[in-house]
Structure 1
Amino acid sequence: MTNRPGLDDHRQAQFAWARFRRIMWWMAAFGLAVGLVVAGLLWVFRGPLPLLFLGMTIAGVWSTIMMAALLMGLMFLSSGTGHDDQVDDRISPEILDED
């Protein structure tokens, strides 16, 4: 039986995805906290604002942070598990003139 690298190994994949989900939950909480702080600062400096405006501000800040966390998390997930090393890159030697 061969040792499958990266996310092909069920145990390693299970551990990596559990860690990824845990990081995403923490980033969701962080994004919500930052969104609430931004809405609070707007309320303090601009005065009372419509609830829809505050809700959309919180949602915008949260979704921006979550998109960045998701993309960076997936990049580190594939790189950290060795999944990227399994890619057979046939074009780079032709482009870089490597033998």
Structure 2
Amino acid sequence: MDDRRNRLSDPDYAAFAWGRYRRVMRWMLLFAAAAIVVALLYLKLSGAPLTLHLMIATAAGVGGTVLLGTALMGLVFLSSGSGHDADAATHEEEP
């Protein structure tokens, strides 16, 4: 068995990998907050009336999009780096 396969089964590597994933998500939470502020500033400067509903919808839409994209891409890199993609690509029939 390849050394890279099933690394998330190793508790030490799993803790490292998930810690890295959470660290990336924390940084991207800050980036999402900054993107929300920039979007709201853009709307304010464009002359649009900033109602409470518009601000909530903008914050949810921009923040949700940034965080969802980050979460999915982070999971792709976690899966690839842990060897799970290689396991899925090599199908071995059981006897």
Give the alignment's TM-score, normalised by structure 2.
0.82
1:70 CA displacement: 0.7
1:15-38 C-alpha deviation (Å, 9 max, x unpaired): 000000010111111011101110
Q: Greater CA radius of gyration, 1 or 2?
A: 1
Q: Unmatched 5+ residue regions in structure 1?
A: 91-99
Select the structure with the greater relative contact order (CA < 8 A; seq sep ≥ 6). Answer: 2
- RMSD, matched Cα: 1.7
1:89 CA displacement: 2.7
Give 1:18-57 correspondences, 5 Å limit: 18-57=19-58
Give the alignment's TM-score, normalised by structure 1.
0.79
Q: Which moved more, 1:61-70 or 1:38-47?
A: 38-47
Q: How many residues align?
A: 88
Give 1:68-87 correspondences, 5 Å limit: 68-87=69-88
State the alpha-carbon separation in 2 of the partners of residues 7 and 84 from structure 1. Answer: 12
State the alpha-carbon separation in 1 of the partners of residues 45 and 59 from structure 2. Answer: 15
Letter in structure 1 aligned against 2:60 = A
| Structure 1 residue runs of 4 or more that deviate by more than 4 Å after TM superposition | none
